[in-house]
Amino acid sequence: MPLSASGPRVLLRQLREVMAGGVSAQERLDEIVVMIAANMVAEVCSIYVIKTGGRLELFATEGLNPKAVHETRLEVGEGLVGVIAANADPLNLSEAQNHPAYVYRPETGEEIYHSFLGVPILRSGHTLGVLVVQNRASRHYSEEEVEALQTAAMVLAEVVTSGELLDLGVDDDDDIGHLRSHRLQGAVIAEGIGLGMVVLHEPRVIVETLIAEDMDSELARLNVAIEALRDAVDQMMENDDMARFGEHREVLEAYRMFAYDRGWNKKMREAVETGLTAEAAVERVQSDNRARMLRSRDPYLSERLHDLDDLANRLLRVLTGQEGTAAAGDLPKNAVIIARNMGPTELLDYDIERLRGLILEEGSTNSHVAIVARALGVACVAQAADVLDLVDQGDPIIVDGDMGEVHIRPSNDIVDAYRDKVRFRARRQARFSKLRDKPAITKDKVRIQLGLNAGLLVELPHLKEAGADGIGLFRTELQFMIASRFPRMDEQTEFYGSVLKAAGDKPVVFRSLDIGGDKVLPYLAHAKEKNPALGWRALRISLDRPALLRLQMRALLRATGGKTLNVMFPMVAEVAEFEQAKAFVDREISFIGAQGYKLPEKINLGVMLEVPSLLWQMDQLAQVVDFISIGSNDLLQFLFASDRENPRLASRYDPLSPIVLNVLRSVVQAAEQHDVPLTLCGEMAGHPLEAMALLGLGLRSISMTPAAIGPVKAMVRKLNLGELADELQDRLGSSQHSLRPFLQEYAEKRKLLT
């Protein structure tokens, strides 16, 4: 018997009355199954809930043997109910027992029923349980009946997530999966440990009213909200910064296509017509789409469903008026921000004093927000799958930026262990801070220059806090990466001037624009490359687009008037490329002088030694540059033809191998021969053991992250450099894979790394 047109709305009104009643959880479920069975003219209605371990347990039934409640259990994927839970799709069968997944459970007495309709109980795309109706007669349930049961399942999701079911069932140690503790493994973005409370970057819209009082009014609200959403997307497309062609515009075009998608709009309107409010209808369709997204193996489809998910969130905010991010509200003193992803400027909106960590469901080590997180010193983990669906505002949480772990609602034992770890780190850092104003001088009186790697103004206070001798690498591209458009010359000039002012009398080495590869500017057109690390990037772009280089050099010259300007060029593959870049600088010097601006007192131009081909032109290079800075990150990956982002290769080649150390020693010797200042500003410099090896090779200047300066300085002040140099020299001819064991033993015997 088909459901009448008013059936879903009648069912929803009845469910609302039951939900408002003051009965126990079990009594509520018992009333709900009776009500659904009566409304849908079904002889059976059953509710299954997923409990810990992925088991589906029968929680309530009308029509099956009542003794089977809390006794009948199925694994996800087992039986018809298990298949629905696994696939998150309805199952509508006229002859259930003919289905290959049918499983006979004699305690239920369901063998006399032929027709079967089951729908998943979903929350944020995750299956919480399954709602089933059955009849003796063989029949196929209508689309209206499927819709009605899905709507009832949405209401049931609120019961499941409320926590009222925790006391039901047989096993005392069972709980509802989304309320228990979780450990997630993500990708390390920024080191550090943060214990605190969950703060959702985009506070979740809580749909409090599911059942509509007036269907026509809700349809009108939905239509108005959809139009407002479309207008907002259209305005984004017309924005001057987005009007150019490029990959970002293609993304927005797809976004706009979904906003105008008739199928999406039709599903939401149909959900309202079943008796849901506009917000509940959007959430219902969103949950269905998210369920497909979570189970899709097609990356293209997943990305498109993600766009729909984001649009649904925007639509919910339009309907409820809940706009803006958590940065605009009152933050707890120990906030851990959770976001699917975010822009770099959005992170800068937060009060840094209250931030303990950042967790991203997406993101990558090279994303713009990751760069800012590292600059701010905020512990950050990315690629923490499903974190948004597992947390609620205010939940206790731990972000371990050292190991890439996230602990949601951690146990007391885990909290205590991490508190001990934080206290240990604090004591260690306090010990290093005592060295801040002391010079980095070895036991045999050799002065070592320890520079700071930076790229944002927020990092510059670290110069004094860490006791660095200057900024050995200032990444100018970060200003470009966090901007929504290309920075104008006046903006660049002001920015560089602020950097020099913050550095005071300490030297700053600016690296010219290093974009391309994994550093893409969203407002600058770029073509996809098969091998971007070896592609059109850094100085190669600047020489092909000289206006970029000239504009930046002009801004630097104006900002440095009267002081010393140090500039180095990245990704130089041959001396001729440096000479081309130098010619552009000379041209800008003439232009600035003719305009009446004060020129820098001194101009030093150098190269970042990253491309191995330059190793065979060291004599020629040393005659034309003012200094050389070794970029060990790229130099080593090119030297070994080994992608440093590939986890399969991460431990295959060691920077402390004789190969690397001999290459670096040859550079040191060439620099000494031609009396050219030499430094190293890659990751090697930031690890005390690797830094020790670099000093043993003859380097006297290295640059690193702020957090590394304390440990490296402590090592330097205990080191007898002459002794190490002699010991190391004797082993450079070794054919061993690595000299790390020797260096580790050397450091341990002399307690250099404690």
Q: Which residues are catalytic?
A: 368, 681
Phi then psi for residue 127, to 5 deg, are -80, 125
Cα distance between residue 565 and residue 536, in whole Å = 27
Decide: residue 101, CB within 10 A, 0-12 exposed, 13-18 middle, 19+ buried.
middle
Task: Confirm if 363 and 189 have CB atoms less than 8 A apart.
Answer: yes
Pairing of strands 126-135, 405-408: unpaired
Dihedral sign (CA 554, 555, 559, 560): negative
99, two tokens: 């289905």
Task: Confirm if 450 and 437 have CB atoms less than 8 A apart.
Answer: no
Closest by Cα among 317, 385, 321, 376 to 346: 376
DSSP symbol at 170: S
Q: Which residue has the tokens 């998943």?
A: 120
Q: How far is CA 604 from CA 497, 508, 550, 730, in A?
A: 17, 11, 16, 36
541, two tokens: 């772009």
Q: How far is CA 175 from CA 49, 52, 129, 165, 344, in A?
A: 11, 6, 13, 8, 38
Phi then psi for residue 680, to 5 deg, are -135, 130
Phi then psi for residue 62, to 5 deg, are -120, 115
130, two tokens: 């399954």
Cα distance between residue 131 and residue 127, in whole Å = 11
Angle at 308 between CA 306 and CA 311, to 5 degrees: 110
Determine the residue type at 547: A
Which parts of 445-574 fold into alpha helices (H)?
A: 461-465, 477-481, 489-503, 539-544, 546-559
Pairing of strands 182-185, 405-408: antiparallel
Which parts of 523-644 fold into alpha helices (H)?
A: 539-544, 546-559, 575-594, 618-622, 632-639
